[in-house]
Amino acid sequence: MMEKKRVYTFGNGQAEGKAGMRNLLGGKGANLAEMNLIGVPVPPGFTITTEVCTEYNETGQEKIVAILKTDVEKAIKHVETLMNSQFGDVKNPLLVSVRSGARASMPGMMDTILNLGLNDEVVEGLTYKTGNARFAWDSYRRFVQMYGDVVLGMKPANKGDIDPFEAIIEKVKQAKGVKLDNELDVEELKELVAKFKVAVKTQTGKDFPTNAYEQLWGAICAVFGSWMNERAILYRKMEGIPAEWGTAVTVQAMVFGNMGEKSATGVCFSRDAATGEDLFNGEYLINAQGEDVVAGIRTPQQITKIGSQRWAALAGVSETDRASNYPSMEEALPEIYQELDALQTKLENHYKDMQDMEFTVQEGKLWFLQTRNGKRTGGAMVKIAIDLLHQGVVDEKEALLRVEPNKLDELLHPVFDKDALKKAKVLTRGLPASPGAACGQIVFFADDAAKAHAEDKDKKMIMVRIETSADDLAGMEAAEGILTARGGMTSHAAVVARGMGKCCVSGAGALNIDYQQKIVEIDGTILSEGDFISLNGTTGEVYAGKVETKDPEFKDDFTELMQLADKYTRLKVRTNADTPHDAGVARRFGAVGIGLCRTEHMFFDGEKIKAMREMILAENAEGRRKALAKILPYQQADFKGIYRVMAGCPVTIRLLDPPLNEFVPHEEKGQQEMADSMGVSLRYIKQRVDALHEQNPMLGHRGSRLGNTYPEITAMQTRAILGAALELKKEGVVVYPEIMVPLTGILYEFKEQEKIIREEAAKLFAEMEDCIKFKVGTMIEIPRAALTADRIATSAEFFSFGTNDLTQMTFGYSRDDIASFLPTYLEKKILKVDPFQVLDQNGVGKLIRMATEGGRSVKPDLKCGICGEHGGEPSSVKFCHKVGLDYVSCSPYRVSIARLAAAQAAIENN
Ligand code: ADP
Ligand code: MG
Ligand code: MG
């Protein structure tokens, strides 16, 4: 049997690996190999595979060294030959770096050691070889420091604590009266090395290793070990990177940017990562090594002249000052710059994407040390994809696949001003429930917010609540953002805020709200009504005071991207909207219909709630009908408003769904008001409210159960829905109403409702002497409905999967209480993700697939869609495409995201 290959060499235009092997060689190792293959100058070296990292973590240092010994020694020979020098040799030493690199880039998470191979004799050899003692000793002191920190564990455990080596440097600098590291002379550098070694001995009890191979093994194993350091584990958790992947280790011949004025090091991007502008840019430092550019020890200079001039304008530096003191690389090292520019273009063309690169210039010779696809903002992501398409680098499909749907969100909401954010103080964190930025004065009650808004339309408010309910809608509408102490990502506040495109931070547990005194205490800070507070709904951060925001701008490239998406997509994207305003927003984002219009909000404000409560109090059907007759004109007007905005589109309207209990006041003050306005006693109201109380309202008297016990409600709503459409028909506005029965579990539950709807429609059409086409269908949100879909489809004309309830009932998790155990479940990996955010394809998805197939087995053209929160989540949208749904429906601000995900699904499944 062939031994497993663990070490891959590269150098001098050849490589055993290549870009496609990133799983085995890590991103860095794979790209170093690839750069060799395409003729980009890279110092020779070798990469030890990610699989060895796993072996290391299982077997430990001793075994791994034994396994790798022959291969690594052979690979070092290979580098020695190419570099014409010897590892550990006193006269002609080869120095190497030992670098980490996982499959996915984890910037700064693991460790790198530079200048390995030095000791007290070798440093003299290096001095002799280069004729540059300062350089040799600078390299040596850096090596001892990095090795001490990373391999010998001298790095302080706490972020705030000072690095023991930095402390020594500070002391020496102070004694000599200098500010910068590069102002230290040879003698001082020697002093540093000596003191460093003493510190190592004192702290670890061992001498600093002098043997080159001993140093190398220590470093290799430390890099493997750093995969398991706390920082890396935390980062992986955040980014969803599995621990099994492991890191590769690359050992590579050193090249030196710190050999004098003809040497430099830098970082560059083939395009602007913040804006996407197609402009080569980056920073460099003369006579510096590795991390110096990002470490902020010296201020780096710009690589291009135009970048340098832009920088000077921002920094208030005059052109003469700039040109003489902060010249660009283009000006200071013009030949190297030309070469660098040509190679960055070559790399971008090769990888067909924006590149983020590291390079070093050693005495006039340019070397590349890393390239990768650069991270970028949402705006840059769209611009770069469209630019690459126009430039003929990628085709339309590839351009669409380059855009990460969720990242579009950044483009759609107001954002914090970057400079303002830097100065802001974080009070606490909650869940990033609805993205965007908001800032305003604290208000606790919906009616206060609505009143203030009526008086001053420009007043900016943040509504702060323990949790929200349908009562709070007007206040949420009036506010810039919503902050709640309880509730998860699918809490009322979160769902409604996302629908409104309003920023929301939910479940901020540190909030102590006192409604009586109208104050909120957050970790000792007490804020009152009227105080300013700012929310970042994208990160969940809550800031004290005013942090300025700005509106997003829509650029042509975004519009073009969305048109392109439509060209490839099959799945239609509708929206969940209850108001003309929301419907309008969604249409502008490209929604082609309403998939869910909830009607409960139409029973709330002003006169409507009064009539609704009258209905609830009524003793019999007659009384209820009388009260409902008062609501009818309001609902009809509401539907007309929505239809107008959605002219030409299908509009799915759901009949009343929530339990009646949500429409009555629960505090005595409200009950007294209700009693007064209805002319009955408080006791009577209390009795009625008590009678409506349910142990489990979400599994109680709601949905079609309501419509079947109070058929008058269904009849009234049918009349409003169809009556509105008939009136608009006279104006020449065509819509396609689809009446949707909520919470069906049994065929006959649906049939009963359908009968009422059709009878009322027939009556109305006769009265009006006119008719319109409409459909009657049902939500599929109870597992039993999914299981008996073939029966339900004998009557229903469409299915709409209500995946919030369906998830709730399939898992048996209350979505309002999941926050109490979800974090533990995620931690223990019992759940990979929150199933209320990302559709559970194995379970809930199976029901969806089954129901769609079942329904279509009796009605082949049965229209099927989804209207839960999942309709705007990319992986769930892709699933909906695969099971053959006709549409997804999502909140207005997620329409673009769903459209893009739908196009990607079509491309990926072709
Ligand atoms: P990270 O993944 O944190 O960026 P790197 O392995 O890229 O770590 O290395 C850190 C720094 O050291 C980078 O600036 C890199 O360019 C530099 N560096 C790494 N290896 C060498 C080398 N062989 N010669 C010169 N500089 C190097
Ligand atoms: Mg790097
Ligand atoms: Mg439901």
Largest CA-CA distance found in the chain, in angstroms, rounded: 106
Residue 595 lies in a domain: yes
Residue ranges lining ligand 1, Cβ < 6 Å? 43, 97, 99, 108, 112, 114, 252-255, 290-291, 358, 360, 369-370
Ligand sitting nearest the alpha carbon of 369: 1
- Find the helix or strand (DSSP H, E) in which 890 lies: strand 887-890
pLDDT tens by residue, 234-281? 778 767 788 889 999 999 999 999 888 999 999 999 999 878 999 999
Predicted confidence at residue 420, as pLDDT, reads 85
Tell how far the Cα of 73 is from the centroid of ligand 1, in angstroms: 22
My answer on whether 101 and 131 are in the same domain is: no
pLDDT tens by residue, 728-783? 999 999 999 999 999 999 999 999 999 999 999 999 999 999 999 999 999 999 99
My answer on whether 90 and 231 are in the same domain is: yes
My answer on whether 577 and 654 are in the same domain is: yes
- Find the helix or strand (DSSP H, E) in which 302 lies: strand 301-302
Alpha carbon distances (Å) from 413 to 379, 436, 501, 553, 655 = 12, 5, 7, 9, 31
The CATH number covering residue 743 comes to 3.20.20.60
My answer on whether 129 and 20 are in the same domain is: no
My answer on whether 759 and 830 are in the same domain is: yes
My answer on whether 598 and 743 are in the same domain is: yes
Range of the domain at 446: 414-550
Phi and psi torsions of 13, nearest 5°: 80, 5
Record the pTM: 0.83
My answer on whether 351 and 242 are in the same domain is: no
Residue 640 lies in a domain: yes
Is the pLDDT assigned to residue 48 strictly greater than 90?
A: yes
Residue with tokens 């009932």: 809
Ligand sitting nearest the alpha carbon of 779: 3
Residue 405 lies in a domain: no
Residue 693 lies in a domain: no
Total domains in the chain come to 5
Is the pLDDT assigned to residue 888 strictly greater than 80?
A: yes
Give nearest CA residue, ligand 1 atom 19. 97
pLDDT tens by residue, 710-720? 999 999 999 99
Give nearest CA residue, ligand 1 atom 11. 290
pLDDT tens by residue, 367-389? 999 999 988 878 889 999 999 99
Tell how far the Cα of 469 is from the centroid of ligand 3, in angstroms: 15
Is the pLDDT assigned to residue 159 strictly greater than 60?
A: no
864 among known catalytic residues: no
Phi and psi torsions of 295, nearest 5°: -70, -15
Phi and psi torsions of 397, nearest 5°: -65, -45
My answer on whether 244 and 281 are in the same domain is: no
- The Cα 318–Cα 510 span in angstroms is 49
Residue 612 lies in a domain: no
My answer on whether 333 and 445 are in the same domain is: no
My answer on whether 453 and 537 are in the same domain is: yes
The CATH number covering residue 343 comes to 3.30.470.20
867 among known catalytic residues: yes
Top pLDDT among 479 and 816 is at 479
pLDDT band, residue 900 (cuts 50/70/90): very high
User: Which structure tokens are listed for 637?
Assistant: 């007007």
The CATH number covering residue 483 comes to 3.50.30.10
- The Cα 440–Cα 547 span in angstroms is 9
Tell how far the Cα of 536 is from the centroid of ligand 2, in angstroms: 30
My answer on whether 95 and 155 are in the same domain is: no
My answer on whether 482 and 467 are in the same domain is: yes
Q: Of 78, 413, 453, 492, which residue is the catalytic one?
A: 492
